[in-house]
Amino acid sequence: MNQLAVRLVNALFLAGQILVHILSGRIHRHNLLEQMAFVGPSSLVISLITAAFVGMVFTIQVAREFIYFGATTAVGGVLAIALARELAPVLTAVVVAGRVGSAFAAEIGTMRVTEQIDALQMLKTDPVDYLVTPRVVACSLMLPILTIFSLLMGMAGGLFIADTLYDISRRIFLESIKNFLQPWDLMAALLKSAVFGALIAIIGCNWGLTTTGGAKGVGQSTTAAVVISLLAIFIANFFLSWLMFQGTGSVVLE
């Protein structure tokens, strides 16, 4: 428990260092582009598959109940709101945490135990500047893009199920999305995704930098980084949702 607390404090200090580096413009562009390719295009397929099936499952669960209550015209809109506000950003972040966060922790952890990071410091190269900052920026930039693609794929999956299983016309489904989904819902999805991306990268890199104990330590750090990243995503999602959507109101246009 003490080790976890120390690592969490280190993560806070690391986040501060990264912010200073970003504000000062100290970003290795080659590393940034390389990490953006790793986080974005390489994670796209699995994110789209996940979103498509989530959209289909959500539609199956909701459509029959809405049809029973005579609210067929609300199926598409409710799906769009659920995807934009919660499902797309959170599930995309979970996928990226499992794939990218673990890779960051394993890669940097291996560099730590094999003394490659010490070699960088001997060469007067700041590991945070060279290794961590590009990864954090890449995750914060690419995760919102992945979320938008996931949102579109989730709605496409829901549209397919609504049309084929429940005979809800595409026009009604799309009109419902248009009526329910607001620009702020999309902005909220992008903001959440950027925060989640930063959390994933900071936690993965920090757990890698603080790795000890050889190969066994790398494995433990990788597992812990994923677990802590998931917890951070869910906790941050609660507070972001509370800030963005608290209060009463209706999403239906008058």
What pLDDT digit, counting tens, does each position of 119-133 carry?
A: 888 888 788 888 899
Per-residue confidence band for 199, with pLDDT thresholds at 50, 70 and 90? very high
Domain annotation covers residue 47:
yes
- Asked whether residue 11 is assigned to any structural domain, the reply reads no
Q: 50 lies in which domain range?
A: 25-243
Q: Report the sign of the C-alpha dihedral through residues 202, 203, 209, 210, in that order.
A: positive
The reply to whether 84 falls in a domain is yes
- What whole-number distance in Å separates Cα of residue 242 and Cα of residue 231? 17
- Tell me the two tokens of residue 183: 């620009």
First-to-final CA distance of the chain: 52
pLDDT at 253 (0 to 100)? 42
d(CA 204, CA 207): 5
Rounded to 5°, angle at Cα 32 from 28 and 33: 125
4, part of any domain = no
| 121 residue type, one letter | Q
Instruction: For the chain, give the percent of residues with pLDDT over 90.
Output: 54
HSE-up (13 A, CA, CB side) for residue 201: 27
Its pTM stands at 0.90
Quote the number of domains for the chain.
Answer: 1
* Residue 17 belongs to a domain: no
Which tens digit of pLDDT belongs to each residue from 108-162? 999 988 888 888 888 887 888 888 999 999 999 999 999 999 999 999 999 999 9
To 10 degrees, the CA torsion angle through 133, 136, 137, 141? Answer: 170
With tokens 């109940």, the residue in question is 65
Question: What is the enclosing helix (H) or strand (E) of 219?
Answer: helix 214-245
Q: Is the pLDDT of residue 51 over 60?
A: yes
- Tokens standing for 216? 């066994």
> Among all chains, which residue has been given the structure tokens 């995309």?
92
In a domain, 2, yes or no: no
Q: Longest C-alpha distance within the chain, in Å?
A: 70
Residue 19 maps to a domain: no
